[in-house]
Structure 1
Amino acid sequence: MRTLCIDIGGTGIKGMVLDAEGNALTERARVRTPQPADPEAVLGAITKVVGGLGEFDRVSIGFPGVVTEGATRTAPNLHEAWAGYPLAQEAEGRMGRPVRVINDAGLQGFGVIEGRGTEILITLGTGMGFALYVDGFYVPNIELAHHPFRRRKTYEERVCNEARKRLGKRRWNERVRETVAQIAPIFNHHKLYLGGGNARHVEAEGLPSDVVLVDNVACMRGGVRLWSA
């Protein structure tokens, strides 16, 4: 069983085919997210990603917003046209394979969690993603990133990519550590994972021992696990 995993981001759309055990069968393909990032443009970009990846039997898509029953409800870093868009249905029609769609952080977390206790994944990229799991079960669509944190700024506004570029690495890392420290006593997690494209800029020194840095390729494995979740 070959699973095509698609990760839709605010700046890039990535794809990879994996086997039933979550091993990569292809290199990760990437194209820039089109602007404007409306549904038709993004689906066209996905077609470009898929074109060079060969055969697959099913598709998992991670989407940067709220997703319910395969339909997208919000997309704060893409386009307003995603409100109420039947992404799973449209993707199935174009690719001729069964498709499952969930929030992108939720998908990535499936690739790294242990399945024990309370686990959290925070993705750091164009914005900030958040996923919560309890004993391996995903609690969908918790948009913690848009909750006010400090000085009337949300978590996302404080640690997004634009903030990283504006503040510089040292100050941005301070904000990442502040975010972790704020979340920890709320969820009392067993593990907290930091992923996303900007996780490579995170300085591990100073982070608690229960915080784990993960790479994007590892997160792709979540697309396989989604089918048995």
Structure 2
Amino acid sequence: MKKTPSQLRVLSIDIGGSHIKATILNKKGDLKMEYDKIPTPAPANPDNVIKAINTLVKDFPAYDKISVGFPGYVKNGVVKTAPNLGTDYWADVDLSKKLEKALGKPAQVVNDADMQGLGVVAGKGLEMVITLGTGFGTALLMDGHLLPHFELAHLPIKEGITYDNYIGEKALEKEGKEKWNKRMKKVFKILKTVFNYDTLYIGGGNSDELTFKLDKNMKIVTNADGIKGGARLWRDDESESKTKRKLATPTE
């Protein structure tokens, strides 16, 4: 018996530099189980990551579709860069096809900050999402729709130093919490000036390390919030398909 859209279940996966996290969502993005995680393997090449995902989800409830947030630049399900996992391993790997083969369900793969953005934004105006983890992730959305993805983490903030180098996990460990927070104040000032966003959402494990008061239009969000974006990926895909079918239908 064919399932109705409201009955569909989505396996939502977040691949990070330190952990791979996953849960099952319904069509609305509600969690149907607590999200679970497993350490990201080393080396984090495609075969090892897919093996880890298989191990993580082997006892999960049944699901119909797969959504993945990946820490790098992804185009049509194909990875182009993976700075915190190893671009040499991942360049031009069609992760969506590999996962479809490994897990037997349709899969969509997008940048991890993009997926988190879909999960947390209110859908009003220009909203920006950043993730503070192993590296620095960013996403931009207008009225709830993803804008083209830019790897802002690789822009230089000063000569020879990128945002990843400046505020990533290694910078926090090396410089300490106080100096890292001073750097974050500088980064927030730049983002506000450059993007003039309506709301800024701050996710990732290191968002807990922020010690200063945020502006009223800046909000801390959790990994559990962000992983809900996996359901939105398929809702948006369905909406686009309906629009295309409608445009293709001859009018009298």
**8 Å contact from structure 1 (residues 30, 49) kept in 2:** yes
The equivalent of 1:145 in structure 2 is 153
The equivalent of 2:17 in structure 1 is 10
User: Deviations for 1:61-108, whole angstroms, at most 9, x for unmatched residues?
Assistant: 001111111111110111212100011011001111110000000001
> How far off is 1:202 after superposition?
1.8
Matched, 1:218 2:225: yes
- Matched position secondary structure for 1:209: coil
Matched, 1:21 2:2: no
Aligned equivalents of 1:118, 1:208: Cα separation in 2? 16
TM-score by length of 1: 0.96
> How far off is 1:140 after superposition?
3.2
> How far off is 1:154 after superposition?
1.1
Question: Following TM superposition, where does structure 1 have runs of at least 4 consecutive aligned residues deviating by more than 2 angstroms?
Answer: none
Give the residue type in structure 2 aligned to 1:188: N
Matched, 1:70 2:77: yes
- Matched position secondary structure for 1:194: strand
| Higher-Rg member (1/2) | 2
**8 Å contact from structure 2 (residues 27, 235) kept in 1:** no
**8 Å contact from structure 1 (residues 62, 104) kept in 2:** yes
Aligned equivalents of 1:97, 1:131: Cα separation in 2? 26
> How far off is 1:151 after superposition?
4.4
Q: Note the residue ranges of structure 2 that are not aligned, 5 or more in a row.
A: 1-7, 237-252
**8 Å contact from structure 1 (residues 116, 134) kept in 2:** yes
Matched, 1:124 2:132: yes
Aligned equivalents of 2:18, 2:167: Cα separation in 1? 16
Q: For 1:10-159, what aligned pairs fall within 5 Å after superposition? A: 10-79=17-86, 80-159=88-167
Pick the aligned partner of 1:201 from 195, 203, 209: 209
Aligned equivalents of 1:55, 1:174: Cα separation in 2? 46
The equivalent of 1:180 in structure 2 is 188
> How far off is 1:152 after superposition?
3.0
The equivalent of 2:247 in structure 1 is none
- Matched position secondary structure for 2:138: strand
Deviates more, 1:152-161 or 1:105-114: 152-161
Aligned equivalents of 1:177, 1:210: Cα separation in 2? 15
